[in-house]
Each structure stands twice: as C-alpha cells, then as structure tokens.
Chain A
Amino acid sequence: MIKKLASCWRRYSQVILGGGLFLLIVLMAVFAPLIATHDPGAYAMREALQEPGPAHLCGTDAFGRDVFSRIVYGARISLTIALAVLVVCGALGTVLGLLSGYYRWAEATIMRLMDGLMAFPSILLALVILTVFGSGIQNIILALSISYLPRVVRTIRGAVISVKEYEHVEAARAMGASDARIIFKYILPLCVSPLIIRLTLIMALTVLSESSLTFLGVGLSPEIPSWGNILSEGRQYITTSPYLITLPGLAIVLAVLSLNTLGDGLRDLLDPRLK
C-alpha cells in the first residue's frame, strides 16, 4: 500500500502539488467574501499604512484598505482574466490550428499571420492593443488572447501535421469520411493533450502579463483590486511600507507557480516524450 502510494506520489507529485495549490487559489477567489476579513474597497484613513499584524494580516494601504482582503478579491480578477484568455485562445487557436495543419491553403495565410504576431513581443503587442481599445477587463482579455493565440495555433498545427499521417486517419479517408469528420473525430482527440499543456502554461503567462500591464497603468482601472493595481499603488510607498510590494507579489508568484507546476506535471504525464 505504502509502495503504491509512493509510486503514485512520484508519478503525480507535480500535478498534485500544482493542482492543489491552484485549487486553493480558485477556492479563495470563489469564497472571497467569506475569507476576506474586511471590505476590500472600504477606506479608513486613520488606519493608513499599518504594518501586517493581527488586525490586518497583510497591513493596510495608503487609504487604510485591508491589503489581505484586496489580495483575496484580486484572485477573482486574475483568475477571471486567465480563464477567459484560456477559453478564447483555446477555442480560436484550436480552430485555426486545425485548419492550418490540415489544409495547405489555410496554412499559408494563417501561419504567416501568426508569424507576424509572434514577431511582436507579447507585452508590447498587448500594450498597443490596450492603447487602441482602452483599458478594462474585456480589453485586457482581448489583448492577451491575441498575444498568446499564435502559441496555441502552432501547438495544434504541429500536432495535426503528425496525426494526419496516422493510419487510422488514412483509413477514415479511404472509407470516404468527410474532412470535418476526420478533423473532429479522428484528429482533434489526439491534439487535446498538447492543448491542455499549452493552455495551462498560457494561464500562467496571462496572470504574469495582466499584473505587468496593470502595474504600468494600462490594464485595469485603479479602483479594481487586482494584484497588479495593489502593487502599482504600493510602489509609491516602497521606502516606508515595502510589504505593499512583497505580499501582493507573492500572491502572483504562488498563482503562476501553481499553474507552471501543474503544466509541467501534465506535460510529463500526458506527453512523456517532452520530459
């Protein structure tokens, strides 16, 4: 029994650790009203810039707002954006990747466009898109989805190119199956593993990029208690209240760490060739 458990731990440790930590952060976001000790938007100027202590676990900011509660609510913002980018990139990237991998005519157009997008540094591309459309949650989702779309398209296309040569696909073709049936029934299921791995890592990148953009002041409006905003506001008090930088940053690190560990674990599990 112990041997079995040990072997199971060895095999799934990264998935368990990363997935477990991520699940905790998701639960923190879902039950934020129960976990937060204060109203994240409540001003209390008399309690401004208090160091972490029993009354305020992570201290208070310049407006006396409880930093711990803002971090807890911040998880909602970061995870919502990460999840939305995952859905947009996953859906659009899968369709474009399937088309470019299966049809030569589609490859030329889609992949050149993706090459063009890849030549932009993702943070710069997101900055330009946010300048065009303005800040806000929807626009940050759009900006980051466009920035990370090429990675998903390339992943799916790579998988399709090899899968379409498999014998079962050739057999389906020989039996007169339509392209749509071949793509969705025989090719897509074999692209799911690389897609899951890629999307997990894109969620981690999204959390990082969203906090960077918001920190620069172009992501979300300052009233929203996102992790990037908490850091951005804390920057002015770096000399007197460094905890305003260290603690919200740790929340970002933990969220990204959980997703990176989960992504790595899934890769080892689903695609041992890449280990």
Chain B
Amino acid sequence: MLNYTVRRLISSIPVLLIVAVMVFTLIHMIPGNPAAVMLGSDATQEEVDALTQKLGLDQPVPTQLVRWFGGMLRGDMGDSIYYDRPVTQVLSERLEPTFLIVAYAILVALAIGVPLGVLAAVNHNGLLDKLCMILSMVGISCPAFWLGLNLVILFAVQRNIFPSVGYLPLAEGGLLSALYYITLPSFALGLQRSASIARVTRSSMLDVLNNDYVRTARAKGLGEFRVIAKHTLKNAMNPILTQVGMSLAQLVGGAVVIETIFNIPGLGLLAFDSLKRRDYPMIQGHILFVALAYILINLVIDLLYKVFDPRVDYH
C-alpha cells in the first residue's frame, strides 16, 4: 500500500505542474494592474510604478513563472499583495470554516443519502423506491445557493433559529458555536450532495443484493437489518466512497458560492475576494491548494477501498 501511495503521489506531480502553469497563465491574463487596484484611484503613476516594481510585476511573465516555481519548490507560495503576508499563512487562517463546512456537509449528505438509497434499494421498484428517487432527482437539480437562501428564509428570517450570515471561529466560541453558525450553509451543500449519494447507494445496493451470499445470509435466518447493514451495505460501500470523494472535492472548490452568500470567511470567499482584488499570488495559491486537496482526497478514498473490500489489490 505504501508503494501504491508513493506511486500515486509521484504521478500527481505532472498534473499539479500543469495546473500551476495553467493558473499562472490565466491569472496573468486578467486585465488591470494589481498594484493600481491595490493603491486605489487616488494613487499617482509613480506610486503604481514603484509598487509594480516592488512586486516584480514589471518582469516578463516567463521570468515571473520561473521565480514562482522556485519559490514553490521551497514551499513558498509568495506573499499576498492585499494582505502583505505569506499566502500559506493566509490560506491556513481561512482553512477552518471551509474545513468545518465541508465536513459538516458531507456528514449531512451521508446521514440523508445512505439511508434513502438503502430504503430505495430494499423496496426496489416499489412506491418508496420511486419516491426516494424522485426526491434525489429534485435534490440534484437544486442549486445549492438557492437551497441555502430558502433555508435562510425558513430558519433565519421566519423562525430565527439559526443566524443568516457570519461565522464564529473555534478559538472564540468553541466547536458548538462554530457549527451553529455554519448549520444552514452546510445543510444547503449537504442536502444537494445527499441526492447523488442516495442514487449511488441505491444502484450499488441493488448490485450487491442479487449476490448469492446475501441469499445465503437470509436463508440462515439472519434478520433483515443485519443482512442489509452487515452483508449488503458494507460490500456496497466502494462506489459510495467514490461518490463521497467526488463530493468532497466538489465541496472544497464549490464552497466559493455558499461562503459568499453566507459571508463566511473561508477559502471560497477568500478566492472570490482575491479575484476581485487581482491578488495574483493569493489566487494561484488557492487554486493550487484546491487541486492538491482534490488529488489527496482521491488518494485517501482509493486507500479506503481496502477497508471495505479486502480483495482490492493495489499492485
């Protein structure tokens, strides 16, 4: 397994390099000088020129790319133009709310999606199956930001149960307060993801339910709950895991919309604000971080396959 992990990590380096070059090229095509954006409309041309030179933005793009790569190899993503601090430091400060939202959302998605999928599979072609699948199809078709706004209307505007915007960091209010603040955005994301998890759970369960060992378990007189939980669901887990991995990767990147709506100071809002501010190093750092997270999440999911199915061979 260690060999496989190392091989996967090495094979992801070219992808990261391609992403890095693409991000760098794209970001430098953004019209407008970040130095001018930073200094505002009152700045003189001399001030803008001086800051442009200080930031190295007057250098040819290939030179900037080489310098950036050099820094990356040393683990230095450069300094944010807006925050005037290392990109890695700003990213790590903004990681907490995004991490909590993604974790909370995936738990919501699993808590709703897996039972719904199991229920549909067990009642295959029955009324419950059709109802579950209609629900999941509607769920997949709902934009997360619209779900979020409707949750705000229901639970913040009409009932005042949850806050409509903002975030209280762990250090200031503890875990429960942080979770309280991110409940609505997490449910908005989780409800949408639960729909695809329910569909995958259903189809994976249907594949497994037809196996001989499930029939044998039933013939032995095992209770239906045990047959489903121990013999069926466990063996149906790998496709569900794949879907969870895809959902996690999409949630990390897709947090930008929900964090902007709920004004949560996470990585998504940081990316959105950095794009508006033309903060090149910050955007580059953010996208590379998300790409790395995408690769690592997929790797972890691949490694988890063996936990549920010992037959998986990593050679």
Q: Give the B-binding residues of A (Cβ under 8 A).
A: 112-113, 115-117, 119-124, 127-129, 131-132, 134, 204, 208, 211-212, 215-216, 231, 235, 238-239, 242, 245-246, 249, 252-253, 256-257, 260-261, 264, 275
CB-contact partner of A132 in B30, B142, B252, B256, under 8 A: B30
- Which residues of A have CB within 8 Å of B140? 256, 260
- Asked if B51 is at the interface (CB within 8 A of a chain A CB), the reply is no
CB pair B143 A121 closer than 8 Å: no
Q: What are 25 A-B residue pairs whose CB atoms fall within 8 Å in the complex?
A: A116-B15, A116-B18, A120-B19, A121-B250, A121-B253, A121-B254, A121-B290, A123-B253, A123-B257, A124-B256, A124-B271, A127-B256, A132-B27, A208-B141, A211-B143, A212-B143, A215-B145, A215-B257, A231-B146, A245-B146, A245-B153, A249-B143, A257-B138, A260-B141, A264-B137
- Which residues of B have CB within 8 Å of A204? 141
Most buried by A among B15, B149, B153, B276: B149
- Which residues of B have CB within 8 Å of A239? 157
- Which residues of B have CB within 8 Å of A208? 141, 143
CB pair A123 B137 closer than 8 Å: no
B188 to chain A, nearest CB (A): 12
CB pair B22 A117 closer than 8 Å: yes
CB pair B152 A128 closer than 8 Å: no
Q: What is the chain B residue whose CB lies nearest that of A243?
A: B153
- With A121-B252, A245-B150 as given contacts, are A128 and B27 in contact (CB-CB < 8 Å)? yes
- With A119-B15, A121-B249, A128-B283 as given contacts, are A257 and B149 in contact (CB-CB < 8 Å)? no
Complex Cα distance, B202 from A275, in Å, reads 11
Complex Cα distance, B294 from A210, in Å, reads 23
Q: Give the A-binding residues of B (Cβ under 8 A).
A: 14-16, 18-19, 22-23, 26-27, 29-31, 137-138, 140-146, 149-150, 152-153, 157, 203, 249-250, 252-254, 256-257, 260-261, 271-272, 275-276, 283, 287, 290-291, 294-295
CB pair A238 B157 closer than 8 Å: yes
Say whether chain A's binding surface is mostly helix, strand, loop, or mixed: helix
- Which residues of B have CB within 8 Å of A121? 249-250, 252-254, 256, 290, 294
Known: A211-B146, A253-B141, A275-B203. 4 other contacts (CB 8 A): A113-B18, A208-B141, A238-B157, A242-B153
A254 to chain B, nearest CB (A): 8
- Which residues of A have CB within 8 Å of B31? 132, 134
Complex Cα distance, B287 from A121, in Å, reads 9
CB pair A253 B256 closer than 8 Å: no
Complex Cα distance, B276 from A256, in Å, reads 29
CB-contact partner of A131 in B14, B30, B157, under 8 A: B30
Complex Cα distance, B152 from A215, in Å, reads 16
CB pair A119 B27 closer than 8 Å: no
CB pair B145 A238 closer than 8 Å: no
Complex Cα distance, B273 from A127, in Å, reads 11
Complex Cα distance, B256 from A231, in Å, reads 17
CB pair B26 A252 closer than 8 Å: no
Number of A-B contacts (CB under 8 A): 119
- Which residues of A have CB within 8 Å of B143? 208, 211-212, 249, 252-253, 256
- Which residues of B have CB within 8 Å of A120? 19, 22, 253, 287, 290-291
CB pair A253 B146 closer than 8 Å: yes
CB pair A112 B14 closer than 8 Å: yes
- Which residues of B have CB within 8 Å of A113? 18
Q: What is the chain B residue whose CB lies nearest that of A122?
A: B253
- Which residues of A have CB within 8 Å of B16? 119
B147 to chain A, nearest CB (A): 9
B275 to chain A, nearest CB (A): 5
- Which residues of A have CB within 8 Å of B18? 112-113, 115-116
Complex Cα distance, B23 from A256, in Å, reads 30
- Which residues of B have CB within 8 Å of A238? 149, 152-153, 157
Q: What is the chain B residue whose CB lies nearest that of A213?
A: B257
Complex Cα distance, B253 from A117, in Å, reads 13
CB-contact partner of A127 in B137, B157, B272, under 8 A: B272
- Which residues of A have CB within 8 Å of B253? 120-124
Most buried by A among B138, B146, B157, B256: B146
CB pair B295 A261 closer than 8 Å: no
B137 to chain A, nearest CB (A): 6
Q: What is the chain B residue whose CB lies nearest that of A124?
A: B253
- With A112-B14, A115-B18, A129-B26 as given contacts, are A212 and B257 in contact (CB-CB < 8 Å)? yes
- Which residues of A have CB within 8 Å of B254? 121, 123
CB pair B153 A119 closer than 8 Å: no
CB-contact partner of B141 in A124, A212, A242, A257, under 8 A: A257
- With A120-B19, A249-B143 as given contacts, are A231 and B149 in contact (CB-CB < 8 Å)? yes
Complex Cα distance, B153 from A235, in Å, reads 10
- Which residues of B have CB within 8 Å of A260? 137, 140-141
